[in-house]
Structure 1
Amino acid sequence: MRSHIIATIFSKEIKEVLRDKRMLYLIILLPFFLYPVLFTLIGGVGASQQEKLMQQEIAVWVSPNAVDTPLPDLLAQDPSLKVEMKAFAEADLEGQKRTMGIQLPDDYQERLNNGQSAEIVIYADQSQDVLNMRERILRTQLTGLGDQLLNERLASKELSPEFANPLSIDSVDLSPEESGDRMMVAFLPMMILLFIFIGCIYIAIDITAGEKERRTLQTLFTTTASTKEIVAGKFLAVAAVGIVSATMNILSLVVAMNIQAYLLEEESAGMAMNLAPEAWVWLVILVLLTTLFLGALSLAVVLLANSYKEAQSYVSPLMMVVLIPAMMAIMPGVELNMQTALIPVFNVALSIVAILKGNFDTSMLAIVAAASFVYGILALYLASLSFGNENIITGEKVNWKALLGK
């Protein structure tokens, strides 16, 4: 193959991508700005709504026998709670808006004096967000009150707080320090594969079915360029856009997640990767090989369409080829082994999960890389068969037996 012809075709396709402002904005520029803006809005609205919920006035009905208990003082700490001492039944709260009830047993104080346990029941319609949040806050406060009463009991018996807690359970996380956080491990493999596919599929549609519809693809075959050179040039363009699209989307997603974590004041919720250099090398290799496979597969499939609209109908089935294995890879108990290492896309998703967790096996990653390379070559060969079939290029009826027989 002549490298200068391949470079010319590649340059031509890239220039067309850069001229197509819609594709440029949709695949590369829009995602880079969309996620930070979107997550900033979500984080800002979420924080604002949470503050509004905390400021809403809530009516709290408390059974009268709670008068001489610490409960009224505990509720009085929140000025948004309108406390009313009254006897009520569960049915009385049905249909009430922003109203919750706290029921103490009639022998509440007697049970506490006898060293027994007294049950406090909180009634709240938890389908109402404001009541659901207040119920959780109130339960935490009452748990603290219970701990205080327990310490008083232990002190009266001259016992240390450790007496009521005979076993102290702790756990040590032995996962490598360089592993990524759990949120990133769960979602990043799927995001990487999805963004690579999105970047590949739309340029693949434009330079195959789109050119067939514009009658420019047929013209290309009248030049001195061979079929292999045409496939190589177009494939390199698809792969380049796929890698750029994935990189821009992932960077944007990481920035967006950290912005949201900052707005919600949850620093641990941010996305950060502290991977070893070897892990980064394997991650780059797998992304490149996945782009090779998905780019070639996209070219081979969408070339069968005779129009841009028809090619778009192939997007959803192909997307399932990416999404389903990626989602299965984060299921509990699914691991990278000799069997799963040979399943296309699924093996890459499992490898990325292992890399982010920091417990990857280099030999298994090598097997995945080799398998992905083979699948990519097979997809490229399939694409070359499609490009080399005159009926497919001209949009006529295809003899599948003759095509696949090659």
Structure 2
Amino acid sequence: MLPLKTLWIIFRKEWCDALRDKRSLRMAFLPPVYFAAVFVASVLFIIHLKNTSTASVSEPLQLPVYGAEHLPAMMDWLEEKGIRVKPAGEDAYAQVEQKKLDYALIIPAEAADQFATGESATVWLVHDATNNKIQGSLGFIRQQLWSWNGRMGSLRLLARGISPSVVNPVYVREMNIASDEKMGLMVMLSLPMFLVLLAFIGSVGFSADMTAGERERRSLESLLITPATSLAIIGGKWLTSLAITLLVLLLEVLLLAIAFAYVPFNELGLRVNVSIADLLVIFVMLVPLAVLAIALQLSIAIFARSFKDAQTYIGLLVFIPMIPMFYTLFNPGAYEPWFNWIPVLGHQAMVKELLIGSGFSWWPLAQFWIVSLPLTIGMLLFTARQLRKPKIVYGV
């Protein structure tokens, strides 16, 4: 039977030690601030790119053309679509190569005769594909050239008494059934990863300090000679790390609530409807993961000879949640009911579902606890058994 009074005493002792370690506290509470700042900065950057792109498209694009007189019908089409055609010299290719021009359209002299006789005329759109600044304008020009090409092809078929639909046996029309909330998730794909990662590493420094750190400072022996049981000692340390992790997660939830309230998602044409209640549900969903992650941290850190070694070992645990995180990032639509039985993978999937407004269900939360509790208890019992071994206490 675990003595609750002893457990409370150990928890208070470790909690006071944690509060005195100002540097570790700063390191624990800075990641949620960084994550929230990165998220807001990313969304604002996307908005800036969209506004810049809209401003550039609203202004007439200028297209340097050499040989415009050979295909006047094409030039009229481009002018009609808002592209201002300006003459370019014979050295248009060289000017693009020397970066004097961003792009140029070169129409050979034989293109006029080929077009008049119904043959295919070759024109050259010269550009530097490594110049990312022109991709938006270049894509618009390329689209208008293909539109004119398709229109002329249809007119040629009609002139020969052939319906243009002959060359288009199937017309494909797309219908997007994704809700506005699901489309809004496209600009915040990193959020589930950040939240799950915080639950996994929220108190890494404290877990390492309460095990390997005390062993290195030789303060573990004085704790072991007290009447407290090994399980009470490990339980008190586990509760301290859990409390810190939950505070870190709560801070992240509050920062995200502020971000969702003030970031202008509507400028992207998206409706992101994530309330503080939704974020609190996500917080509740991440609690079982934090419970399990801290037990795993203590189980690994107890074998480290020094605080630095413990941080290194526990730091490698970051790769455990990264595997399912990347799986869900590269397969955003993948979801199976058995995901909920796998720690981290199920949490990642459920956080994403909650962010897109799919609603809250008690069964996934029960599944998380069904998996996390036995694993956590097993790891804590294992760590408690290791605590009084001479190899752990004295390093022999």
Does the alignment reach a TM-score above 0.5?
A: yes
Which residue of 2 is the match for residue 292 of structure 1? 291
In structure 2, how many angstroms separate the alpha carbons of the residues matched to 1:48 and 1:331?
24
Q: Secondary structure at the match of 2:203?
A: helix
Q: Secondary structure at the match of 1:126?
A: coil
- C-alpha change, 1:27 and 1:302, in structure 2 (3 Å) is same
Q: Is the 8 A contact 2:81 2:144 kept in 1?
A: no
Letter in 2 for 1:291: A
Q: Is the 8 A contact 1:40 1:259 kept in 2?
A: no
CA drift at 1:223: 2.3
Alignment partner of 1:171 is 2:170: no
Which residue of 1 is the match for residue 193 of structure 2? 190
Alpha-carbon displacement from aligned partner over 1:137-158 (angstroms, at most 9, x marks no partner): 43355567779989999xx9xx
Q: Is the 8 A contact 1:325 1:346 kept in 2?
A: yes
Q: Is the 8 A contact 1:13 1:234 kept in 2?
A: yes
- C-alpha change, 1:331 and 1:37, in structure 2 (3 Å) is closer
Which residue of 2 is the match for residue 20 of structure 1? 21
1:84 to 81, 87, 98: 87
In structure 1, how many angstroms separate the alpha carbons of the residues matched to 2:79 and 2:352?
46
In structure 2, how many angstroms separate the alpha carbons of the residues matched to 1:120 and 1:18?
72
1:171-250 counterparts in 2 under 5 A? 171=175, 173=177, 181-183=184-186, 186-250=189-253
Alpha-carbon displacement from aligned partner over 1:375-394 (angstroms, at most 9, x marks no partner): 222222223223343431x2
Which residue of 2 is the match for residue 133 of structure 1? 136
In structure 2, how many angstroms separate the alpha carbons of the residues matched to 1:186 and 1:44?
15
Q: Secondary structure at the match of 1:123?
A: strand
Q: Secondary structure at the match of 1:208?
A: helix
CA drift at 1:50: 8.4
CA drift at 1:199: 0.8
Q: Is the 8 A contact 1:254 1:272 kept in 2?
A: no
Which residue of 2 is the match for residue 382 of structure 1? 382
Which residue of 1 is the match for residue 162 of structure 2? none
CA drift at 1:61: 3.5
Normalized against structure 1, the TM-score is what?
0.72
CA drift at 1:305: 1.3
Q: Is the 8 A contact 2:292 2:376 kept in 1?
A: yes
Q: Secondary structure at the match of 2:303?
A: coil
In structure 1, how many angstroms separate the alpha carbons of the residues matched to 2:131 and 2:254?
37
Alpha-carbon displacement from aligned partner over 1:13-38 (angstroms, at most 9, x marks no partner): 33333332222222215632674378
- C-alpha change, 1:337 and 1:36, in structure 2 (3 Å) is closer
Q: Is the 8 A contact 1:213 1:306 kept in 2?
A: yes
Which residue of 2 is the match for residue 373 of structure 1? 373
Gaps of 5+ in 2: 160-164
Alignment partner of 1:36 is 2:37: yes
Alignment partner of 1:62 is 2:71: no
Which range is displaced more, 175-184 or 187-196?
175-184
Q: Secondary structure at the match of 1:329?
A: helix
In structure 1, how many angstroms separate the alpha carbons of the residues matched to 2:123 and 2:263?
37
In structure 2, how many angstroms separate the alpha carbons of the residues matched to 1:128 and 1:180?
29
Which residue of 1 is the match for residue 102 of structure 2? 99
Q: Is the 8 A contact 2:207 2:294 kept in 1?
A: yes
CA drift at 1:5: 3.0
In structure 2, how many angstroms separate the alpha carbons of the residues matched to 1:49 and 1:187?
20
Q: Secondary structure at the match of 1:195?
A: helix
- C-alpha change, 1:90 and 1:374, in structure 2 (3 Å) is farther
Q: Secondary structure at the match of 1:335?
A: coil
Letter in 2 for 1:31: P
Letter in 1 for 2:24: M
| Cα RMSD (Å) | 4.8
Which residue of 2 is the match for residue 266 of structure 1? 268
Q: Secondary structure at the match of 2:297?
A: helix
Q: Is the 8 A contact 2:62 2:83 kept in 1?
A: no
Q: Is the 8 A contact 1:293 1:372 kept in 2?
A: yes
Normalized against structure 2, the TM-score is what?
0.74
In structure 1, how many angstroms separate the alpha carbons of the residues matched to 2:6 and 2:324?
37
Which residue of 2 is the match for residue 400 of structure 1? none
Which residue of 2 is the match for residue 402 of structure 1? none
In structure 1, how many angstroms separate the alpha carbons of the residues matched to 2:224 and 2:83?
77
Which residue of 2 is the match for residue 9 of structure 1? 10
- The number of residues matched between the two structures is 385
Alpha-carbon displacement from aligned partner over 1:113-155 (angstroms, at most 9, x marks no partner): 89998776422102112233331243355567779989999xx
1:152-163 counterparts in 2 under 5 A? none
In structure 1, how many angstroms separate the alpha carbons of the residues matched to 2:367 and 2:49?
49
Letter in 2 for 1:169: R
Q: Is the 8 A contact 1:32 1:249 kept in 2?
A: yes
- C-alpha change, 1:110 and 1:356, in structure 2 (3 Å) is farther
In structure 2, how many angstroms separate the alpha carbons of the residues matched to 1:180 and 1:27?
33
